[in-house]
Structure 1
C-alpha cells in the first residue's frame, strides 16, 4: 500500500528549495560575478542608502560628505571582501560557517538566532515603510493591509531562493537607478550642480567622524552576513569585483545623490525629497529601494533560524518552510504596527554583529584552529565542530561593549578591530579551545538545493 504524505510534507515537497541552507553550495550551482554584483548593488543601493546620503547632506557640505563616504566605503569593502572570501571558499552561509570560524555549534546557534531576530525585525519595519508609500500612491487600501500585502509578496519571492531573488534584482535595480536619475535630473533643473556642491548644509553640523560612522555602521550587518551571498560566487576575484562594484556604486551613486538632493531641498526627509522632486514616481523609488533590501532581510533571517533549529533542537527543517513562517509572522507584525516600537531594540542588537566579522577573519586567516577541518572536508561539511568556544563568547561580548561605549573613532570598526586583535592574542596564548564536540550529520536527503 502506498505511503500517505502528510499535509506538512506535501507543502515542503512543493516548496522544496532549501538553497543549501546547511550544506556547501556546489560549483555547479554558483553564478557569474556580475549576476551576484547586481544583487549586492541592489542590497546597498536601497532606501537606507538614500536616507544615509540625505542625512549626510543635511549636516555636511558636499566634499565633507564625499570623503566620509569614501573612508566608510573603503572600510566596508575591506571587511566585506575578507568575510566574503570565507563564504566563497567554503560555500557556506554565515551562521553555518561560524561553527568552524571561532564560534562552535553553540555560538553559531546564538549568532543564527540574533541574525534571525534582527533581520525579521527590519523586514517588518521596512514593510511598514513601503506600505506607507503604497497607501499614498494607491489609497484603495489602508496602511496595515498594504503592509501585509507587501510582506507576503516579498515572502513569495524569497521562498524560491537565490534564483528568484536574482530575477527580481535584474528588474528592480535598473528601475531604481532610472527613477533615482529622474528625481536627480528633475531637481537639478531648478539648481546648478556647482551651486549644490558649494552650498552649506541646511541642518546642524555633522562631524567627519560622525559621518564616517554613519557610512561604516550603516552596512556593517550586511558585511557580516556577506557569506550568505558570496557562497554563490566562483572565485576570490569574483568576490573582489562584485564587492568593489556593488559597494562603490551603492555608496557613491545613491549616497551622493542623496547628499545633493538634501542640499537642493534643504531637508533630510527622503520621502519629502523624492516626492517633491517627481511626485508619485518618488513613491515608486521608495518601494523599489525597500523591496531589494527586504528580500535579503528575509532570506538571511531564514538561514539563521534554520541553523539555530538545527543546532539547538537537532531538527533539519526546510529553509523555504522557515521562510514562509517567519515571512507571514513579520508581515502580520508589520500590519499591526508593532515592530515600530522595537526599532530601538533592533539598533541595540546591531552592536552584536560587527565583532562577528573580526572573529571570523582572525580565526580563518590568522589563528586557523579549525581551518584544517574545513580543508579536509572540502566536498562536504566537517563531521564535527566544537560545541562551545568560551574565549570567543568573552571576546564577542567585550568587543560589542567596546563598540557601544567607546566614543573615540568609529564604533562599529572599533568593535571589529577589537574582536580581531583579542582573538589573535587569545589564539597565540592558546586560549582558543573548544569544549565538547557536536556532530554534523550528513544525510543524503539534505543535499538537495
Structure 2
C-alpha cells in the first residue's frame, strides 16, 4: 500500500548510481531553494539597513561561507548516497546521535513548512479570496505535500515550472519599480532603515540558510560526482544570493521598506502575490522532504521499524498544514530559531570525522563498494554529544563574530582535538536495519 501513495526515495539506503541525476537537475532545485521568497525577504532586510555595496560585500562573505559548508557536506552525501541523518551514524554521531539529528530536522523543518504555508495563504486570500485564510493554508500545504510524496523526480519537475515563473515575476517586479527610479541614485543612497554593520549583515546572510547547508546531503545524494556538487553549489547559491538577494536590496532602497509584501505589491500589484506563492512552493517542498527523511530515520532508530517515506511525508504535511490553518505556528518561531543553533555544529562534526579523524570512514568505504550501508553503527559517541552541546552553547551565547560560524568552527576544532586524543569512541553497537543493496524504486 505504501508504494501506491508515493516513493520511499531510498530513505534508509544508498541511492544507487542508476537513480542519480544530472548536475543541472539538482542545480535547478538548489537554485529554487536558495532563490525562494525567504531570500528575497533576506535581501530586503539587509538592504533596509545597509548601503548597496556594503550589502554586496555582506552577501559575498555570507555566500562563500555557505558554499564551503555545502560543498564539503555535499560531497559526503554524493559519495555515500545517504541522507543527512543516515550518514550521521558513521560521521561521529552514532545511531543515537543520528536519531536526535533526525528529530531536530523533523521538528524544525515541519515548523517552517507550516509557517511558509501560512504566508502563502495570506497571499492567496489577497489574490483570489473565495476561501478564508485557514482554508488556503490547508489547500497550499496539501498540494505541496502531494508533490513531495511522489519524491525527488516530482520535485524536480516542480522546480522546472516554479523557478522560471518566480524569476519572471521577480524580474517584472524589479523592472516595474526600478524604471520609476534613478538606479545610480539607489546604489549610492544611504540605507532607509536602522543601519546594520557588515558583521550583522554577513550573519544574516550566512545564518539565514545555515540549516539548508547542513542538510545538503539530502539533495546531493542524487548527484553523480564531486564536480557536480561543486558546480550546482556555485551556480545555485551564487545566482540565488546575488540575483534575488541583491534585487531585494535595491527594492528595499526604492520602496523604503523591508516588508516583502509591501515591496512586491507596490511594484506590480496582484502579480506580486504570485511572486509570494511561486517563491514559497520551491523551498517548502524541501522543508517537508528533509523533515520526512529525518523522522523516518528517528523512528527506525528508536523502534527498529522501517516506515515508508511517502506515508511519513503525508502525515507530516497534513500536520503542518493543520497547524498553519490553526494559526498557532507563530508561537513556535522563537523556538525554531533557538533550535537552529543546534544545526551548525552538526556540519562541523560530520566534516571533521569524514575528512580528518576518519574513525568510521573505513566502514563506509567497505560498505559502499558492496552497495550497502555498514552492518553496524556505534550506539552512542559520548565525546560527540559533549562537543555538540558545547558548540551550540557558544553559538547561542557568545556575541562576538558570526554565531552560526562560531559554533561550526568550534565543533570542528573540538572534534578533531578529541579524535587526536583518542576520545572519539563508540559506546555499544547497533545492527543496521537494512544492509542489502538498494533496489530501484
Deviation readout 1:141-170 (Å, 9 max, x if unpaired): 100000000000000000000000000000
The one of 374, 389, 404 aligned to 2:381: 389
Kept in 1, the 8 Å contact 2:16–2:439? The answer is no
RMSD after superposition: 1.0
Give distance in 1, aligned partners of 2:76 and 2:288. Answer: 22
Deviation readout 1:200-227 (Å, 9 max, x if unpaired): 1110010100000000000000000000
The one of 323, 340, 346 aligned to 1:356: 346
Deviation readout 1:409-443 (Å, 9 max, x if unpaired): 10000001000000000000000000000101237
Indicate the SS of the match to 2:336. helix
Indicate the SS of the match to 1:315. coil
The one of 236, 250, 261 aligned to 1:246: 236
Kept in 1, the 8 Å contact 2:186–2:250? The answer is yes
The one of 257, 260, 265 aligned to 2:247: 257
Give distance in 2, aligned partners of 1:233 and 1:49. Answer: 24
Partner of 1:186: 176
Kept in 2, the 8 Å contact 1:23–1:447? The answer is no
Give distance in 2, aligned partners of 1:161 and 1:348. Answer: 30
The one of 190, 200, 224 aligned to 1:200: 190
Q: After the TM superposition, which residues 418-433 of structure 1 pair with which residues of structure 2 at under 5 Å, given as runs?
A: 418-433=410-425
Give distance in 2, aligned partners of 1:16 and 1:323. Answer: 9
Kept in 2, the 8 Å contact 1:99–1:105? The answer is yes
Give distance in 1, aligned partners of 2:437 and 2:94. Answer: 24
The one of 127, 130, 154 aligned to 1:164: 154
The one of 122, 132, 138 aligned to 2:128: 138
* Paired residue total: 439
Q: What's the TM-score, normalizing by structure 1? A: 0.97
Give distance in 2, aligned partners of 1:367 and 1:172. Answer: 42
Give distance in 1, aligned partners of 2:104 and 2:171. Answer: 36
CA drift at 1:297? 0.3
Indicate the SS of the match to 1:377. helix
Partner of 1:281: 271
The one of 404, 407, 424 aligned to 2:399: 407
CA drift at 1:113? 0.2
Pair 1:127 & 2:120 matched: no
Kept in 2, the 8 Å contact 1:73–1:251? The answer is yes
The one of 144, 150, 164 aligned to 2:140: 150
CA drift at 1:341? 1.0
Kept in 1, the 8 Å contact 2:48–2:194? The answer is yes
CA drift at 1:192? 1.8
Give distance in 1, aligned partners of 2:384 and 2:253. Answer: 45
Give distance in 2, aligned partners of 1:34 and 1:120. Answer: 27
Q: After the TM superposition, which residues 309-348 of structure 1 pair with which residues of structure 2 at under 5 Å, given as runs?
A: 309-348=299-338
Partner of 2:224: 234
Unaligned runs of 5+ in 2: none
Partner of 2:284: 294
Kept in 1, the 8 Å contact 2:15–2:438? The answer is no
Partner of 2:96: 106
Partner of 1:442: 434
Give distance in 2, aligned partners of 1:435 and 1:448. Answer: 34
Give distance in 1, aligned partners of 2:435 and 2:417. Answer: 38
Give distance in 1, aligned partners of 2:206 and 2:313. Answer: 29
Indicate the SS of the match to 2:374. coil
Partner of 1:118: 108
Partner of 2:34: 44
Partner of 2:359: 369
Partner of 1:270: 260
